[in-house]
């Protein structure tokens, strides 16, 4: 299918085919959800689901000015899998130039970013 030998990692094969592996695909989906949240494209019941960093403190920091969200403290492994925790974590790892892009360009910029990041997720 790829005309390559079995040498090399699976991630290299995915990158060659422009396909995201499952952990990166999950991060991609969460990133799209968070972009929709920030652009108010979600139903109203999500309006206050996340807490902006700018409402926690009023200092003008890089994190607060780049639309980042408060990362809640969790005490369990199931808490670390919740959208309330994963969403802000994924969102804060997206570069600012991608965060502020339009919905149309956001998807392919995030995918490109994920494809070229070795051994990491958003």
Residue range 38-55: average pLDDT? 90
Check pLDDT > 70 for residue 62: no
- The predicted structure's pLDDT at residue 50: 93
Decide: residue 103, CB within 10 A, 0-12 exposed, 13-18 middle, 19+ buried.
exposed
Q: Is residue 121 domain-resident?
A: no
Share of the chain above pLDDT 90, in %: 52
Expressed as residue numbers, the domain containing 68 is 30-116
Q: Any residues with CB less than 8 A from the CB of 89 and at least 6 apart, and which? A: 71
- Cα separations (Å) of 33 from 2, 6, 27, 45, 80? 32, 36, 10, 14, 17
Task: Identify the residue whose tokens are 């802000």.
Answer: 88
Q: With CA atoms as reference, report the closest residue to 91 among 63, 116, 119.
A: 63
Residue range 49-55: average pLDDT? 85
- The predicted structure's pLDDT at residue 108: 93
Half-sphere exposure of 20 (CA within 13 A, CB side): 20
Q: Is residue 93 domain-resident?
A: yes
Q: Is residue 97 domain-resident?
A: yes
Residue range 94-106: average pLDDT? 92
- The predicted structure's pLDDT at residue 44: 95
Q: How many domains does the chain have?
A: 1
User: What global pTM score does this model have?
Assistant: 0.82
Residue range 15-39: average pLDDT? 93
């Amino acid at each position: 299918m790829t005309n390559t030998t079995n040498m090399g990692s699976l991630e290299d094969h995915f990158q060659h085919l422009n396909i995201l592996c499952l952990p990166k695909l999950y991060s991609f989906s969460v990133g799209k959800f968070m972009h929709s949240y920030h652009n108010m494209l979600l139903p109203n019941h999500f309006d206050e689901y996340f807490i902006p960093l700018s409402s926690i403190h009023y200092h003008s920091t890089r994190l607060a000015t780049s639309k980042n969200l408060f990362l809640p403290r969790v005490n369990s492994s199931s808490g670390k899998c919740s959208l309330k925790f994963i969403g802000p974590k994924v969102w804060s790892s997206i570069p600012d130039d991608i965060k502020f892009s339009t919905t149309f360009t956001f998807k392919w910029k995030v995918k490109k970013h994920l494809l070229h990041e070795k051994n990491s997720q958003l």
